[in-house]
Structure 1
Amino acid sequence: MHFGALQSVGIGVPGPYTSARQGFPAVSWKKQLSPEGVDTAFSERFGAPVVVDNNTRLAALAEAIQRPDAVENLIYLRLSDGVGGGLVVNGRLVAGSRGFAGELGHVTADPTGAPCRCGKRGCLETIASVSAVLRACREAGADIETLDDIATAVRKGDPVVDAVLRTVGAAVGRVLGAAAMTLNPREVVIGGEIVHVAPVLVEQAAATLRYELYSIPSDQPHIVRAAQLRDSDGALGAIAAIFHQSPLLAGYPDPTSSVEHAPQQQRSAL
């Protein structure tokens, strides 16, 4: 099979991704393996340049550029099976030196909280991941097993589930508040299917964020919103990365460049 018309391949992977372009060994959370060599394997298979990045960071990029007036400073948080994030800062998609930039799910939200898969306690992921929210609802006495059950409870105005969601939203808002205090974004976006079935979570996160940032004078309120893109967000971000269609991608690595010839500033942006 030939792929002569294929110009490039974009791939989103879970967790931080360190390609050979950066010259670092693969990284992982504790005993969990990190993907390695994905760019090389796909490049050899399809004979085309490959861009590989964290899927949530690519989703952040997609949310930043999905409107005509692209947002140059944005914090993105996704609540799913895990909790991850992405940062667009001064018009650039940020990965950090080892690919961990935006890992808001592993910011401590409760120092005495539950053990996290990363080895710490009380990370935001232990409070705001979908499994954590479902468990908290059950522990509070609600008959909740799935997101559909949460959606039903929200429609009925179940006070137990509402209280759990507001507690989770407050924890999310505090972590986002710390990040926003540091980065001063124009928008904060919360993604994941749970924010669409339980909008009160986003409302509470927004209220908590406003409180956390009350001391910062601003002529524009920080906009906290649910993600507009859903399952396609990572794919759309990968496409944008491939075609360099947005000024937000200034400095994003060119998949055709080699580590020897790529400028240092460009290499450090992935």
Structure 2
Amino acid sequence: MSGRGARRPGSPTALRDQNRARVVAELRRQGQATQAELARATGLAPATISNIVRDLAEVGSLVIEKRSGKRNCVRLAGGSGFVVGLDHGHRHLTVGVSDLSHRVVARTRTELPVGVSAAQSMAHARRLLDAALAQAGVERAAVVGAAMGLPAPIDRTTGRVGSPSILPGWVGVDASALADAALELPVGVVVDNDANLGALAEHQWGAGVGTTDMVYLKLSDGVGAGLIVDGRLYSGVAGTAGEIGHTTVEEFGAVCRCGNRGCLETLVSARSVVSLLAPTAGELTIEEVVGRALAGDRAFARVLDDVGRQVGAAVAGLCSILNPELLVLGGELAQAERILIPAIGQVVDRCGVPSAAAALRIRPAVLGARTHLLGAIARAIDNADRSVFIS
């Protein structure tokens, strides 16, 4: 097709659309930014940025927020669409609705019974989603992106939940197809491992802002790592990179849910910690374990210190291979940061390549219980229907 408005490669119209897409992509990543920040991030000239912002604001795709004493900020308009994020944990399910400037406009949550099936979980998800959309006043047709996190590896070659999984009812399930059928959204649901989503969230808005190479380590009922390499999420050929919890640390140790023996997870998961202390202290929560350790209980502090040292040995190997600048500690056990971080650091210093160990900073996650939901929202925004932004 030819004509004045045709989008031929290299034509003014095609170049305009490409530049608009770059600006929109950056706003999707940052949530909001000044025009000067957009120019630096995209490499476009300030005048080009100014024209794009003016044009998109005129058609209602962008909002310019005037701030006294500061430069005006630009964000994507709420009318441009909304995204849905789902955080599916071992014992909980959280659903959030966000606009494209990363503002969560509704959030719903429920506890899940032990042994719930995948189909039953998605029935809960549908109920929570309906409630969240109603709370936000958002129609289903306005949803332009959706993502769900699971505490399980997702095999990219098949789309199915792999083993090992802390959710046995999900193994072998095509999670995206199941979510699509249950939620009935106008867009497909992207599914990823929750540690990957934690890495995305902490990299964009949390402890990892400004870093290019970092590891997000989730220590909870399951143990996994999300890897940011050269500023991007790295998940490997099949999507299972970062399964640090299933590296063998004791060849003849306890049998792990993955079928192997002596995996790191058998020693450092939240369940392992409470089971070690149960014979003398009874059933406790991780919060109670951490509280007693910090209050000076020697046995509790010893168990958490041992967790840090076991994790440190695994992290030392990871650092020697990837040489990240930052390790972000997340998950339930991150409550014990005052004990875990020094213990991890000592073993990394002793066992890691000296230059890699010296370069590594260890910090607790800062987004707390919101981390994996925000990661799902970030993933949904990244995969949102692009046509709604530049048409």
TM surpasses 0.5: yes
Q: Is the 8 A contact 2:254 2:266 kept in 1?
A: yes
Q: Residue deviations 1:232-265, cap 9 Å, x none? A: 1112112222223xxxxxxxxx5669xxxxxxxx
Report the equivalent of 2:343: 204
- Name 1:266's counterpart in structure 2: none
Cα 1:8–1:145 shift into 2, 3 Å: same
More strand by share: 2
Pairing partner for 1:15 from 136, 152, 157: 152
| TM-score between the two structures when normalised by the length of structure 2 | 0.57
Say whether the 8 Å CA contact 2:320–2:356 is kept in structure 1: no
Q: Which structure exhibits the higher relative contact order, with contacts defined as CA atoms closer than 8 Å and separated by 6 or more residues? A: 1
Unaligned runs of 5+ in 2: 1-129, 131-138, 387-391
Number of the residue aligned with 1:78: 218
In the aligned structure 1, how far is the partner of 2:203 from the partner of 2:158? 29
Structure 2: distance between partners of 1:77 and 1:216: 21
Q: Which has the higher helix share?
A: 2
Q: Which residue of 2 aligns with 1:249?
A: none
Provide the residue aligned with 2:262 in structure 1. 122
Partner of 1:63: 202
- Residue 197 of structure 1 deviates from its aligned partner by 4.1
Number of aligned residue pairs: 244
Distance verdict in 2 for CA 1:46–1:24, change over 3 Å: closer
Map of 1:96-245 to 2, 5 A cutoff?
A: 96-138=236-278, 141-142=280-281, 145-197=284-336, 199-213=338-352, 215-216=354-355, 221-244=359-382
Give the number of the structure whose alpha-carbon radius of gyration is greater.
2
**TM-score, with structure 1 as normaliser:** 0.80
Q: Equivalents in 1 of 2:381, 2:189: separation in Å?
A: 12
Give the corresponding residue for 1:28: 163
CA offsets per residue over residues 148-203 of structure 1, 9 Å max, x none?
A: 33133123211111111111110000001111110000101111122214520222
Q: Distance in 2 between the 1:189 and 1:69 partners?
A: 11
Cα distance in 2, alignment partners of residues 36 and 173 from structure 1: 34
Question: How many Å separate the matches in 1 of 2:272 and 2:262?
Answer: 11
Give the corresponding residue for 1:264: none
Q: Secondary structure at the match of 1:52?
A: strand
2:18 paired residue number = none
CA drift of 1:50 comes to: 2.5
Larger mean Cα displacement after TM superposition, 207-216 or 103-112: 207-216
Aligned partner of residue 255 in structure 2, secondary structure = coil
Is contact 1:18-1:24 (8 Å) kept?
A: yes
Moved more, 113-122 or 26-35: 26-35
Alignment-mate amino acid for residue 131 of structure 1: R
Partner of 1:251 in structure 2?
A: none
- RMSD, aligned CA: 2.7
TM-fit CA distance, 1:143: 5.2
- Measured after TM superposition, the shift of residue 63 of structure 1 is 1.1
Percent identical: 32
DSSP 3-state at the match of 1:7: strand
- 1:150–1:198 CA contact under 8 A, matched in 2: no
CA distance in 2, matches of 1:138, 1:73: 38
Residue 132 of structure 1, CA deviation:
0.4
Q: Which runs of 4+ in 1 moved over 4 A?
A: 23-26, 141-144, 254-257
Letter in structure 2 aligned against 1:29: P
3-state secondary structure, aligned to 2:226: strand
